[in-house]
Amino acid sequence: MKSAIELNEIRNTFKDEVCQYTNGSIARILVGVATCGIAAGAESVISEFQEQLNQLGLSDIAITQTGCIGVCDLEPIVDVIMPGEDKVTYVRMTPEKVKKVVSNHIKNGHIVEEYTIKHILDNLNTKGLANINSTKLEEVNFFKKQKRIALKNCGIINPESIDEYIALNGYKALEKAIIEMTSKEVVDLLKESGLRGRGGGGFTTGLKWEFTAKAENDKKYVVCNADEGDPGAFMDRSILEGDPQSILEAMTIAGYAVGANKGFIYIRAEYPMAVKRLEKAISQAKEYELLGKNILGTNFSFDIELRLGAGAFVCGEETALIRSIEGERGMSVQKPPFPANSGLWGKPTLINNVETFANITQMILKGSEWFRSIGTEKSPGTKVFALGGKITNTGLVEIPMGTTLREVIYEIGGGIPHNKEFKAVQTGGPSGGCIPFTHIDSPIDYDTLTAIGSMMGSGGMIVMDEDNCMVDVAKFFLEFVSHESCGKCSPCRIGTKRLLEILTKITEGKGTIEDIDNLERLSHDIKATALCGLGQTAPNPVLSTLKYFRHEYEAHVNEHRCVAGVCKAFKSYTIKPVRCVGCGVCARVCPVHAITGVVKKPYSIDQEKCIKCGACMDQCRFEAIENTFKKERE
Amino acid sequence: MENVKKCCANQQTSKTLLKAKEELRDIKGKEGALIPALHKIQSVYGYLPEEALMLVSEELDIPITQIYGVASFYSFFSLEPKGQHIISVCLGTACYVKGAQNILERLSSELGIEEGSTTEDGKFTLQATRCIGACGLAPVIMIDEKVYGKLSSHDIPKILREYK
Ligand SMILES: Cc1cc2nc3c(=O)[nH]c(=O)nc-3n(C[C@H](O)[C@H](O)[C@H](O)COP(=O)(O)O)c2cc1C
Ligand code: SF4
Ligand code: FES
């Protein structure tokens, strides 16, 4: 059994392995290997490192795989830490570049300037990421405005090593909680901290823990909601892939606080790497007896089991999630009773989101005062966002609550690429809304986002520019929710279908003004009458776009025009004879052979055959193809 | 000759069935065992064939109607066999706003099938999926386990050629 003393020994032994700065004594190479890194080619980078180091007889240099550090656009990212030297971050690595880094830097001590983050960013001249004089990632603007609590270890430690986690004060919070504190003290600390649930609703976590603790029963459960349903977000996955032990530790603390001995992590089956890392983390924690019977020599026992979802968005909703773990169809049920009183198999059940749990260990160690000093009064702490869409620096950011949308989008995110104009930012996923430029200076916190017609949600933040049609975006979300409705109650099952039909009608150029009014009325009806959160929030994308972008709906209906040039019914591609040089590229790429012509003479498009895919326009180097209606404004 | 073949095929299925049975053993006693069981079956067969669902019904003592209800509720479970290569087009928000719909349409016209179906030769299944966490590379598709990012629709024919 691991005692507190043994944990300290591990901390000392592994101190150097996790050291990021100059006082380290061993050479290390860190490669970010989360799903995004692998997609960008991290695995071939690692094997090239292995091969090069072997050839040079330097195979004792450790190559550590870490989680995602958050700057997706620069993957694969490699940190080289040589003894007594500053860390150097190389980005957009390839096997070719690895050869040079090994021979110049690792072997001969000469940093390969042109591959460092500084050099690459200076050349890209990316706002937000640029203006640094450092070869270190942490000093880039992208990071300076961030505050990392939930992502503290992501990209720093090897997620498959419990020792590295322990070395960075892992399991200290558990030790403190179960040895020095009573259950009630843990709950009180959480209440004082003001932490609110990061899964979307924003309910005060301390209260939820208190309700579950007070519910009398011989059996209780702790559930971690890792279903991450928002179709444009991946914060929870990054935490699980980058720092799985922190979630196990927090769930164990929760078990102690509420009086549960069993935990479940409900995770999407579509996240195979996160599943694999969690399985590994659980087995390591069991081996160290940090899960199991009589943890750290106390009489508290706790165990965690993984349960895989199966591709149903509604299972992110807590009552549906409970049904799903029980092995049923994931359909929501009426609340109350709340899970805190009657959850899994009718027993009191505490359900929290991954990121909520990711805040717990720090809070136990540093106290509620510390936590309250970050963020705003009503929304203390930080929030992780998955920043994506039409933005220069896509990736994962953790910011103190109260940071403005402008700061995130323009300073951290580097603004909109290709000199396009900002149109809206979408938060809250399918339950949220689109926020226009007029609200760009709004602070990010639960209450402000709700007040401006969106919501915090779980952390998707998608930026849209002038080329996105807001009616089409609303339709996208309605397609999603109507497909995902569990079908239990009619406002949601039938209502979302009707909303989708009306939106489709409008985007196909067949809409009327009454349709717009009907959309609005029906939306309010669904919100008022649906049984669970899915249906109650499903109309939000429609309502928020109607509120801020009604003119786009009206243009579709009255003028048969899609301002952004997205809706195909209003679009036609034509070739400008004066610009066309007759190269024939367009005819070759057209998937339906709608383009014909004679080489060196202007080509033409058969409008009957054209499916308006735009492939020709993408390929034409002479800007000879025109998309009528695009950008034609009043 | 005909007979020999048939007998081998039978042996093949019973082997898989045995493997499935083996996989179910660990799960049997668990609370809420049905969904983990279906995951196991799908990992053995690639989909949920009737014979395996009957097995689940027997082993876990759950009526087959209930199993069918659960299996058909979740989109991750498939009651039909899938193609040799599975092409998943991300239709997450980040990919969508960067033109994922065009990618899907191009794939659909290149393969001659609708989203959610399999080519006649059993080579490709085309499906839409949600965020696969590579938003930084949007729009992305995934063929089996390999991710292709920063795509435009005219990259598609070249990618498909890799698998033909
Ligand atoms: C349709 C719907 C989908 C949801 N999806 C998720 C999800 O993917 N992840 C999550 O943590 N919470 C999700 N929630 C919120 C949960 O029901 C629940 O409130 C949350 O897990 C509680 O944890 P928290 O208090 O830590 O946020 C969803 C809610 C609804 C109505
Ligand atoms: S609102 Fe939709 S998802 Fe929720 S119970 Fe009703 S039908 Fe099911
Ligand atoms: S939305 Fe496509 S990868 Fe995230």
pLDDT at residue number A56:
87
| Interface contact A426, partner B, CB < 8 A | yes
Question: Is B97 within 8 Å of A329 when comparing Cβ atoms?
Answer: no
Q: What is the pLDDT of residue A569?
A: 85
Is B123 in the A-facing interface, judged by CB distances under 8 Å? Answer: no
Reduced 3-state DSSP string for A314-370: HHHCHHHHHHHHCCCCCCCCCCCCCCCCCCHHHCCEEEEEHHHHHCHHHHHHHHHHH
Instruction: Judge whether B43 is closer than 8 Å to chain A, CB to CB.
Output: no
Report which of A376, A336, A14, A49 is spatially closest to residue A166, judged by C-alpha positions. Answer: A14
SS3 track for A486-529: CCCCHHHHCHHHHHHHHHHHHHCCCCCHHHHHHHHHHHHHHHHH
A575 burial level (CB within 10 Å; 0-12, 13-18, 19+):
buried
Which residues of chain A are modeled with pLDDT < 70?
Answer: 1, 17-25, 124-139, 629-634
Ligand 2, pocket residues at CB < 6 Å: A 314, 332, 485-489, 492-493, 530-532, 534-535
Q: What distance in Å separates the CA atoms of residue A456 and residue A355, rounded to the nearest whole number?
A: 13
- The closest of B55, B48, B46 to B14, measured between CA atoms, is B55
For a mutational test of ligand 3's pocket, the pick from B89, B127, B140, B148, i.e. the residue with the most ligand atoms closer than 8 A to its C-beta, is B140
Q: What is the pLDDT along chain B (164 residues), one digit of tens a residue?
A: 444 444 444 555 678 888 888 888 888 888 899 999 999 999 899 899 999 999 999 999 999 999 999 999 998 999 989 999 999 999 999 899 998 998 999 899 889 999 989 999 999 999 998 888 788 788 999 998 788 888 988 889 999 999 97
pLDDT at A23: 53
C-alpha–C-alpha distance, residues B154 and B87, integer Å: 16
Best residue in B26, B59, B72, B131 for a mutation probing chain A (most A CBs within 10 Å): B131
Kindly determine whether residue A614 and residue B147, on different chains, have CB atoms separated by under 8 Å: no
| CA dihedral for A66, A67, A71, A77, sign (positive or negative) | positive
Give the β-pairing of A78-81 and A88-90: antiparallel
Which pLDDT score, from 0 to 100, does residue B34 have?
95
Residues 16-75 of A with CB under 8 A from B: 34-36, 38-40, 71-73, 75
| Nearest-by-Cβ selection for B35 from A40, A310, A611 | A310
The answer to whether A584 and A621 are in contact (CB under 8 A) is: no
CA nearest to A71, candidates A134, A8, A138, A150 = A138
With a 6 A CB cut-off, is B135 part of the ligand 3 pocket? yes
The one-letter amino acid at A208: K
User: Which of B31, B76, B136 is closest, CB to CB, to A394?
Assistant: B136
CB-CB neighbors (< 8 A) of A591 in chain B: 106, 109-110
Residue A326 Cα, gap to closest chain B Cα (Å): 4
Residue A378 per-residue DSSP state: S
Give the binding-site residues of ligand 1, using a 6 Å CB cut-off. Answer: A 197-201, 203, 205, 225, 227-229, 314, 316-318, 351-353, 356, 458, 532-534
Burial of A18 (0-12, 13-18, 19+ CB in 10 A): buried
Q: Given this model, what pLDDT does residue B12 score?
A: 57
CA distance A213 to chain B (A): 23
**C-beta contacts of A623-627 below 8 A and 24+ residues apart:** A623/A579, A624/A575, A624/A576, A624/A579, A624/A580, A624/A581, A625/A573, A625/A574, A625/A575, A625/A576, A625/A586, A626/A573, A626/A574, A626/A575, A626/A576, A627/A565, A627/A571, A627/A572, A627/A573
The tens digit of pLDDT for each residue in A177-224 reads 999 999 999 999 999 999 999 998 899 999 999 999 999 999 999 999
Would an 8 Å CB–CB cutoff place B134 in contact with chain A?
yes
Q: How far is CA B147 from CA A237, A632, B88, in A?
A: 17, 37, 9
Distances, alpha carbon A351 to alpha carbons A90, A198, A369, in Å: 40, 11, 25
For B12, counting Cβ atoms within 10 Å of its Cβ (0-12 exposed, 13-18 middle, 19+ buried), the class is exposed
Predicted TM-score (pTM) of the model is 0.90
State whether the beta carbon of B86 lies less than 6 angstroms from ligand 3.
Answer: no
Helix, strand, coil % in chain A, rounded to nearest 5: 45, 15, 40
CB atoms within 10 A of CB A120: 17
Residues in B touching A388 (Cβ below 8 Å): 93-94, 135-136, 138
Strand A382-389 and strand A349-353: the pairing is unpaired
All residues at 6 or more sequence positions from A457 whose CB lies less than 8 Å from its CB, including other chains: A200, A230, A233, A427, A428, A429, A431, A432
Query: What is the per-residue pLDDT for A198?
Result: 95
Q: Which residues of chain A lie closer than 8 angstroms to B76, CB-CB?
A: 269-270, 309-312
| Angstroms from B153 CA to nearest CA on chain A | 6
Among the partner-chain residues B35, B94, B137, the one whose CB lies closest to the CB of A232 is: B94
Least CB–CB distance from B39: residue in A237, A308, A388: A308
Q: Which residues of A touch B31 (CB under 8 A)?
A: 326, 345
How many angstroms separate the Cα of A133 from the Cα of each of A130, A138, A141, A408, B56?
A: 9, 11, 11, 22, 62
* Cβ atoms of A524 and A546 closer than 8 Å: no
Q: What are phi and psi of A57, to 5 degrees?
A: 70, 30
Kindly state whether B110 is in contact with chain A, defined as any CB-CB distance less than 8 angstroms. yes
Cβ–Cβ gap A618/B33 under 8 Å: no
Round to whole Å and give the CA distance between B55 and A176.
Answer: 48
A279's tokens: 């399985």
Domains of chain A with bracketed CATH = 18-140 (3.40.30.10), 162-371 (3.40.50.11540), 382-465 (3.10.20.600), 470-559 (1.20.1440.230), 568-629 (3.30.70.20)
Structural domains of chain B, with CATH: 2-73 (no CATH), 85-161 (3.40.30.10)
Q: Which residues of A touch B91 (CB under 8 A)?
A: 231
Q: Which residues pair with B127 in a beta bridge?
A: B88
- Alpha carbon distance A135, A113 (integer Å): 8
* A18-73 residue pLDDT tens: 666 545 667 889 998 888 888 888 999 999 999 999 998 887 888 888 888 888 88
In this structure, the residue with its CA closest to atom 4 of ligand 2 is A532
For A350-402, the pLDDT digits (tens) are 999 999 999 999 999 999 999 999 999 999 999 999 999 999 888 889 999 99
